[in-house]
């Protein structure tokens, strides 16, 4: 497989990235610029075209994950259960 074919397989446009994450096009654009104090999603620009590497999308998904019980315990939200 050539480098060009590899890059074409790895890079997604906005519509493909939105489908991959199962979100709307508006949401993918919000993620790109950052929301809620979170750093924006990593992009690749080719001229004026914006592309998303599948590996960057996967990393973004991992960075959004939370360990809810641990976070809640750390912040004292579950203190009323004791």
- pLDDT, tens digit, for every residue of 36-82? 666 788 888 999 999 999 999 988 888 877 655 555 555 555 554 44
What pLDDT, on a 0 to 100 scale, did the predictor assign at position 40? 80
The pLDDT-based confidence of 33 (bands split at 50, 70, 90) is confident
Helix axes 14-21, 25-33, angle to 10 degrees: 100
Q: Which residues contact 62 (CB under 8 A, 6 or more apart)?
A: none
- pLDDT, tens digit, for every residue of 7-19? 556 899 999 999 9
pLDDT at 6 over 60: no
CA distance 18 to 66: 21
């Amino acid at each position: 497989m050539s480098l060009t074919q590899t890059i074409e397989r790895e890079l997604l446009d906005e519509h493909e990235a939105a489908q991959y994450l199962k979100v709307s096009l508006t949401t993918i654009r919000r993620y790109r610029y950052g929301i809620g104090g979170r750093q924006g999603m990593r992009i690749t620009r080719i001229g004026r075209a914006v592309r998303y590497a599948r590996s960057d999308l996967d990393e973004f998904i991992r960075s959004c994950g939370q360990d809810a019980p641990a976070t809640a315990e750390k912040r004292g939200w579950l203190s009323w259960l004791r």
